[in-house]
Amino acid sequence: MDTHPDTLTQLARPHRKAVLVALLWITILAGILFGILNATKGALALSILEWGMSLYSVFLLLAVRRTQHLERWILAYIFPFFTAMMIAIATPTASVTVFGWVLLIPLVSHLLLGRRLGLGISLFFIGVALVIFLYRFDAGDAVMDVRSVANMVILTACITVFSHVYEVSRERSEIQLLQMAQTDFLTGLPNRSRIKVFFEREKSRAAREQQPLSLLIIDLDHFKKVNDRFGHEAGDRALVFFADLLRQRLRATDLAGRLGGEEFGVILVNTATNTASQVAEDLRRALESADLQHDGQSIPLSMSVGVSELGVDGHNLQDLLAAADQRLYAAKDNGRNQVVPDPTTLATASLC
């Protein structure tokens, strides 16, 4: 399944962008407000830091609207924002309640950076905040009372654990939804959408490594007759049976999927038309000689195949599907149960 980390990052992007924009607005408004409050209390250095953070957030707000590199801008926000927070809590004149902001660290980190990086950055900055706390207060200070410290530590630990568990289960649900959206319900094979994603990735790899890549379109012959004669349930069993055959016969690096109905697509990596035709012929023979039983009766199955190759028949999936489809129909016209790598070879196709 396509649960590649890049795909998950792509999926999380709109949600992370929305969280970042909301945080930037909060930082702008909070920075202006606290800047004014600290200025009136005479803490001018802190005010300047807060106004600076507001101004920087305005700049980030403009930058993230059109960026292709959201992760970089998230880090460009998180590090100065958390560092400013650390400076604020370390300032001797700042109220002890400023430590309350530390609770934002695990929430913001997990929402913006996901479970791994989010947890790493949370633990780092919470650790720094703890060191600052121990440095700022002595054993005799009221805030060092065991219950106060226990409250703060347990609350921070709870929010860190909840944020992490939330992000882990959110990512799991996302993977499950992605798998469902890319899987054919009946056969469990990848569907058209997954074939497309796989093709795009393998196409880039084939170009980089200068390797061939082929596509097969396989259509079960006279499938309507299978349904009519043995029933729809037997037809479903035949589709599942064929899907299993594909799984058993193909290499782990290839991809077989269901394009729809009784039509299947196979992408063969590092494979040119000649070898792809042999693979298709092996599959054709295996299906022809397979013994699928239903209610004590044997269901005869055969298939027709069209083959196309990247670079020879086109440079995108649409071109390859069109070329393979044309050959598939040539195979059907020529009597079915055969592989057609190229219509000009039709005379010898059934001997392939």
Ligand X SMILES: Nc1nc2c(ncn2[C@@H]2O[C@H](COP(=O)(O)OP(=O)(O)OP(=O)(O)O)[C@@H](O)[C@H]2O)c(=O)[nH]1
C-alpha 254/C-alpha 128 separation (Å) is: 49
Nearest to 259 by CA among 309, 164, 324: 324
Other CB atoms within a 10 A radius of the CB of residue 238 amount to 23
Segment contacting ligand X (CB under 6 A): 71-79, 86-94, 106-114, 229-237? Answer: 229-237
Q: Does 223 bind ligand X (CB under 6 A)?
A: yes
Of residues 120 and 231, the one with the C-beta less far from ligand X: 231
Interface residue with ligand X among 222, 240, 272, 314 (CB under 6 A) is 222
Segment contacting ligand X (CB under 6 A): 36-44, 126-134, 159-167, 233-241? Answer: 233-241
Interface residue with ligand X among 13, 69, 229, 232 (CB under 6 A) is 232
**Paired tokens of 89:** 């809590």
Q: Are 1 and 182 in contact (CB under 8 A)?
A: yes
Interface residue with ligand X among 3, 227, 326, 345 (CB under 6 A) is 227
Place of tokens 């001797």: 92
- Quick note: the x/- pattern for ligand X over 317-346, rule CB under 6 A, is ---------------x---x----------
Footprint (CB under 6 A) of ligand X, residues 173-212:
186
Q: Does 13 bind ligand X (CB under 6 A)?
A: no
**Angle between helix 232-249 and helix 273-289 axes, rounded to 10 deg:** 130
Footprint (CB under 6 A) of ligand X, residues 234-293:
235-236, 239, 261-262
Other CB atoms within a 10 A radius of the CB of residue 124 amount to 13
C-alpha 87/C-alpha 14 separation (Å) is: 31
Q: Are 207 and 310 in contact (CB under 8 A)?
A: no
- Residue from 50, 202, 262, 309 carrying the catalytic annotation: 262
Of residues 27 and 304, the one with the C-beta less far from ligand X: 304
Active site residue 202: no
Element (H, E) at 227: helix 223-230
Return the active site residues: 262
Footprint on this chain of ligand X (rule: CB under 6 A) = 186, 219-224, 227, 232, 235-236, 239, 261-262, 332, 336
